[in-house]
Amino acid sequence: MIIGNKAEVGNPFGTSRTIDRMRILIQQPGRRATSLDVDPQRRPTRVRTAEDDRDVYLDWDQALDDEGRLRHCLVCGKGIYKRKAFPQVTGFVVVLAFALALVGLLGFADDIPLLIGMTVVLLIDVGILLFAGTHLECYGCHASYRSIPIAPWHRPWDRNEAARHADDRGEA
C-alpha cells in the first residue's frame, strides 16, 4: 500500500514498516564503495553518484515482490543473500575476549577484577551479536542493500548459489 510517497510493507507478525529510502553500497575494485540513497517508490532507472560523478543504471523490472521486498540485484540482476552487518569494533572485542581468556587459563590472574572484565567483554560481545543489523548482498557485483525489509525466503550465503553466479559471469 502506498501512503503519500512511502510504501507500507507488511510482515508476518501483522505490523507494517514504512520504507522511504533504500541505501545501496556499490563495491568497485580498487576504489572505495559508492553509496546511493534511492527512493523505492520512484524507482529511478539512473542515479548519479556523488563521489565520482558517474551514472549507475538500476533495473527495477520485477525487482520487488508484492510487499516491496527486493528479489534480485538492481545493479546486475543476479541473486541476493542476507548477511549480518557487524560493527568494526567486533574484531577488537573478540581479540580482547581471547586475551582475557588466555590470561585466565594460564593463571596469570585469577582475581575478581579479571572475572568482572571477562564478564563485561562477554556481555559486549553478546550485545553486538544480538543487535547487529542484517542487509542483503549481491552474489554477482557484491552490491549491498541496507535499510530495506528482508523477505523470509532470503537465505544466508550459499556456496552452490555463488558458484552458479560465478559461472554466469564467466560465460558473459
Same domain (yes/no): 80, 37: yes
C-alpha dihedral over 58, 22, 39, 47, to 10 degrees?
A: -40
Are residues 13 and 30 both part of a single domain? yes
Q: Is the pLDDT of residue 83 over 80?
A: yes
- Would residue 172 count as lying in a domain? no
Other CB atoms within a 10 A radius of the CB of residue 134 amount to 12
8 Å CB contact between 30 and 12? no
Instruction: Report the candidate in 157, 162, 136 with the shortest Cα–Cα distance to residue 70.
Output: 136
- pLDDT tens digit string along 37-48? 888 778 887 887
122 and 148 fall within a common domain: no
Span of 29-33, 68-72, 153-157 with lowest mean pLDDT = 29-33
One domain for residues 41 and 121: no
- Cβ contact 101:39 at 8 Å: no
Cell of 138: 549481491
In a domain, residue 147? The reply is: yes
Residue 170 lies in a domain: no
Cell triple for 114: 579479571
Q: Is residue 61 part of a domain?
A: yes
Do residues 94 and 125 touch, judged by C-beta distance below 8 A? yes
Q: Which residue range is the domain that position 47 belongs to?
A: 2-84+133-165
66 and 106, same domain (yes or no): no
Q: Do 123 and 137 fall within a single domain?
A: no
Does 27 reside within a domain? yes
pLDDT category, 172, cuts 50, 70, 90? very low
Reading the block at residue 29, the C-alpha cell is 575494485
Whether 96 and 145 share a structural domain = no
Side-chain half-sphere of 16: how many Cα atoms within 13 Å? Answer: 12
Regarding whether 54 and 21 lie in a shared domain, the answer is: yes
